[in-house]
């Protein structure tokens, strides 16, 4: 089955978000499969774009022989606000362009996506939400915000609340970008190469497990000749090719502020998680330095009857969940298929 799909755009008009108003908000999305089939929501993560031009390919889990089969499900992929496809600092006109773009929360994204599903696509019920990283955090928000609308959710290398350790890590690449000599407080007139390259190198160092680096996994079986080649060609080029610096900062803020209990139960995470009725599959990686498995274990303890914890036994760190290697892809595929078909 061909995975060719055109990006579509839903125009919300004025849309209120955490930091104010987006005057003509747009949600970008693609669909795969027949609308008569059970619907699966598959949102983007940090670095991903619907057209696969980002650092992480959005279609890596979609296909006849993959976790999300378009012959069985109607798959809707959504671009998060600030990823450059949905409304973002880079594509919004003044007075909300660039550094003036308002802060956006996960809850804002979920509300916008719900409108697209119900008003545009006519989806009365969603069978499941599957997400990696930021997409996994969004899956948690779906389960909390629309408990009667979805049946299941899968969080791969994500969390219900961004941990203090995760927030502190994110300050590193953000500081490298915004303090660069060419970022100009977000008022740059050409690509701030110094800032984006610095951001990429700080971000890269945390993306993979220590064992992966120790075993020279960055050489990618001969694709690269050194760590410098890997960082320059894979990470620097990835963000320079497809990303705007203000988009990167604004989307990072969404990640940092992630907390499902901020939309329900006034910050009481245990109470919020305990109220989730949808069935959950929580899949952290044992070597993830962003979303540590210990955080998932704490979350699971608050919803023992509705969610199941499966730790990905990988040396690839956070990127074990992002389609980086065949072994982890196969492990995740088998677990997700079994969960969705149960």
Distance CA 125, CA 131 (A): 18
When pLDDT is cut at 50, 70 and 90, the band that residue 150 belongs to is very high
Check pLDDT > 50 for residue 1: no
From 82, 87, 90, 133, the catalytic residue: 133
pLDDT tens digits, 87-118: 999 999 999 999 999 999 999 999 999 999 99
150-156: strand order across its sheet: 8-17, 20-32, 74-78, 39-43, 126-132, 150-156, 279-283, 307-309
288 catalytically annotated: yes
The model carries a pTM of: 0.96
pLDDT for residue 315: 97
Could you give the percent of the chain with pLDDT greater than 70? 99
Check pLDDT > 50 for residue 247: yes
pLDDT tens digits, 76-86: 999 999 999 99
Nearest to 151 by CA among 238, 254, 40: 40
From 318, 324, 328, 329, the catalytic residue: 318
For helices 106-115 and 134-145, the axis angle rounded to 10 degrees is 70
Average pLDDT, the chain: 96
Check pLDDT > 50 for residue 262: yes
Instruction: Name which residue leads in pLDDT, 70 or 1.
Output: 70
When pLDDT is cut at 50, 70 and 90, the band that residue 4 belongs to is confident
133 catalytically annotated: yes
Mean pLDDT of 223-244: 95
Check pLDDT > 70 for residue 177: yes
Nearest to 78 by CA among 103, 53, 114, 105: 114
Give CA separation, 228 vs 194, 201, 235, in Å: 16, 10, 10
Mean pLDDT of 170-174: 97
Nearest to 134 by CA among 210, 196, 81: 81
Mean pLDDT of 226-238: 95
Distance CA 77, CA 172 (A): 29
Domains of the chain (ranges; CATH) run: 8-163+259-341 (3.40.50.1820), 166-253 (1.10.1740)
318 catalytically annotated: yes
pLDDT for residue 139: 98
From 108, 244, 259, 288, the catalytic residue: 288
Q: Which of 101-110, 136-145, 169-178, 204-213 bottoms out in mean pLDDT, i.e. has the lowest? A: 204-213
Could you give the percent of the chain with pLDDT greater than 90? 97
């Amino acid at each position: 089955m061909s995975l060719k799909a055109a990006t579509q755009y839903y125009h919300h008009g004025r849309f209120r978000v955490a930091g104010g108003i987006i005057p003509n908000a747009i949600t970008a999305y693609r669909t795969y499969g027949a609308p008569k089939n059970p619907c699966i929501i598959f949102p983007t993560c940090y670095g991903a774009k619907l057209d696969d031009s980002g650092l992480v390919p959005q279609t890596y889990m979609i296909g006849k022989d993959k976790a999300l089969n378009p012959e069985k499900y109607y798959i809707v992929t959504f671009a998060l606000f600030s990823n450059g496809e949905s409304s973002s600092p880079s594509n919004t006109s003044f007075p909300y362009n660039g550094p003036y773009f308002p802060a956006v929360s996960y809850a804002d994204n979920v509300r916008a996506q719900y409108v697209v599903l119900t008003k545009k696509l006519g989806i009365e019920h969603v069978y499941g939400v599957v997400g990696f990283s930021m997409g996994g955090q969004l899956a948690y928000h779906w389960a909390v915000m629309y408990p009667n609308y979805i049946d299941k959710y899968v969080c791969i290398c994500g969390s219900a609340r961004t941990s203090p350790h995760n927030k502190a890590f994110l300050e590193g690449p953000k500081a490298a970008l915004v303090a660069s000599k060419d970022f100009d407080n977000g008022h740059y007139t050409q690509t701030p190469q110094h800032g984006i390259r610095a951001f990429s190198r700080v971000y890269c160092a945390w993306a993979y497990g220590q064992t992966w680096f120790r075993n020279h996994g960055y050489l990618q079986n001969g694709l690269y000749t050194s760590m410098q080649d890997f960082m320059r060609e894979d990470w620097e080029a990835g963000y320079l090719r497809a990303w705007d610096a203000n988009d990167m900062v604004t989307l990072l803020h969404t990640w940092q502020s992630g907390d499902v209990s901020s939309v329900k139960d006034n910050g009481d995470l245990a109470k919020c998680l305990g109220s989730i009725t949808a069935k959950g599959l929580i899949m952290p990686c044992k070597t993830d330095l962003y979303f540590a498995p210990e955080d998932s274990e704490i979350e699971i303890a608050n919803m023992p009857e509705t969610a199941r914890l499966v730790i990905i036994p990988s040396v690839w760190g956070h990127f074990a969940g992002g389609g980086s290697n065949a072994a982890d892809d196969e492990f995740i595929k088998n677990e997700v298929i079994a969960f969705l078909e149960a």
